[in-house]
Amino acid sequence: MIRTSRVLIFGSLLSLLIAVGSFAGGWMASRAAGNVSLGTYLGTMVNRGAEGGTPTDVRDQFTVFWDVWSLVQQEFYHREPLDQQRMVYGAIKGMLQSLNDEYTTFQEPDLAAASRESMQGKFEGIGAYLRVQNGEIAIDRPIKGSPAEKAGLKSGDVIVKVDGVELAPLVKGLSDADASAKAVSKIRGEKGTTVVLTLRRPPETTTFDMSIVRDEVPLISVNAQMLEGGVAYIQITEFKAPTTSELDAALRELLPQQPRSIVLDLRNNSGGFLQSAQEVLGRFYEGTALIEENSNGELKELNTIAAPEDVRAFTIPMVVLQNGGTASAGEIVAGALRDMRPNTVLMGEKSFGKGSVQNIHQLRDGSSARITIAQWFTPNRSEIHKVGITPQYVVPASAEAQYAVPCVVDKRPAEGQSACTDSQLAWGLRYLTQQATPPPVPTPTG
């Protein structure tokens, strides 16, 4: 779950003037002593100017940092110029990693820009989801109606090069998330421009080029349709900026059809904006959305955000589907509906267990720092972080033929089958239309 803010950081002109002003006399004195070169002294004075901006309570600790920085400048063997920007970014990443919180992270400008663009619900590019497999970047699936789909990209295609530049060296050593983001930053571009992908289509080992003209690609986060038995099916894939307006449009189509019940599908919903989660909850009830706890142990109650009258579905029986990919804001919504909304049950598998809140700060060079600021609890104060939410009815995922269901969203029957199959959706529909409950899952014994 994230909040956003913009931070503007200004350098200290005074520190620079002091450093430059003291340079001439100081270096001449050092030169007279015969023990400091011009390059070394210049590096030291630049560092000293930066040190002037260091908070006084940690200035002693930072002395060691600047000592090492100066040693690298003076002694490190290199044939190419040192990439000082990369050194700075590396220091920032190391600082945040020392906090032992996987959600407090730093993104360089290109990765940060891609993340910001994605959360706005649209971007300019080719329109394909990526995955990392065996150290390579592959197409997970093209987005429906996107330039990638129209050009013929297929799931499993391996992207070897982008505009002639090999991807493997660029993503080597990165986490899967950062590797995907790095690839995205190379593939995206302005609408109307062309990108050339060099692809390998397993099991073939040869490569071929594909030219794709970029376009604006909407990232739809809400899918909805009416199913038999008066069941309204609503899927929310992520809580982006446009999610609330998309949900309102769906409800304005569904509610006039007087649904008897609702399936809210939050499976594989990895989270998103806190405000969007509060607004979504406001379509289904009014009251507490979550409890936040800050570093001082102070608790703050956050409420749902009210919805217009014509998109309120407060009393309709509901099944919420969740699984191990339901995380963060997805868990906020699932847990709040369980605690606060009558005639609502959770079904599926235990959720991921991310119960922390991050502020995203956009820095002056376009990079971003994501900082954990609080942990959250469900309205009845159930802890979620590293615990997850266990649904009232545990239903393992299965695609066996006995779990035939309507094909929802863009799903199609598996090869050789005539119907879509989904055990969790099947039991959700049986619960709502037949009052049938799934059998208990046997407890493993050891």
- CA-closest candidate to residue 263, choices 22, 433, 16, 120: 433
Segment 328-335 shows an average pLDDT of 97
Cβ pair 289, 239 in contact under 8 A: no
Are 352 and 327 in contact, with CB atoms under 8 Å apart?
A: yes
The sign one gets for the Cα dihedral 147, 150, 153, 155 is positive
In 255-343, alpha helices (H): 274-281, 329-340
Predicted local confidence at residue 413, as pLDDT: 87
pLDDT for residue 446: 54
Mean local confidence (pLDDT), 61-77:
92
- CA distance readout (Å), 184 to 112, 126, 153, 210: 11, 10, 15, 16
Q: Is the pLDDT of residue 340 over 50?
A: yes
The structural domains of the chain, ordered by start, are: 13-82 (no CATH), 122-218 (2.30.42.10), 222-434 (3.90.226.10)
Distance of alpha carbon 169 from alpha carbon 292, whole angstroms? 42
Neighbours of 190 (CB within 10 A): 10
pLDDT at res. 235:
98
d(CA 70, CA 75): 8
pLDDT at 16: 33
What confidence category does residue 445 fall into, taking pLDDT thresholds of 50, 70 and 90? low
The model's pLDDT over 50-66, given as tens digits with 9 standing for 90+, comes to 556 677 878 888 889 99
222-235 pLDDT, tens per residue?
999 999 999 999 99
Q: Are 116 and 188 in contact (CB under 8 A)?
A: no
> Which residue has tokens 């969740």?
322
Which pTM was predicted?
A: 0.76
What tokens were used for 417? 């089958």
Per-residue pLDDT for 11 more than 50? no
Mean per-residue pLDDT over the chain, rounded = 87
Question: What pLDDT shows up at residue 288?
Answer: 98
The average pLDDT across 167-194 equals 88
Which residues are catalytic, by number? Answer: 328, 354, 358
Whether pLDDT at 432 is above 60: yes
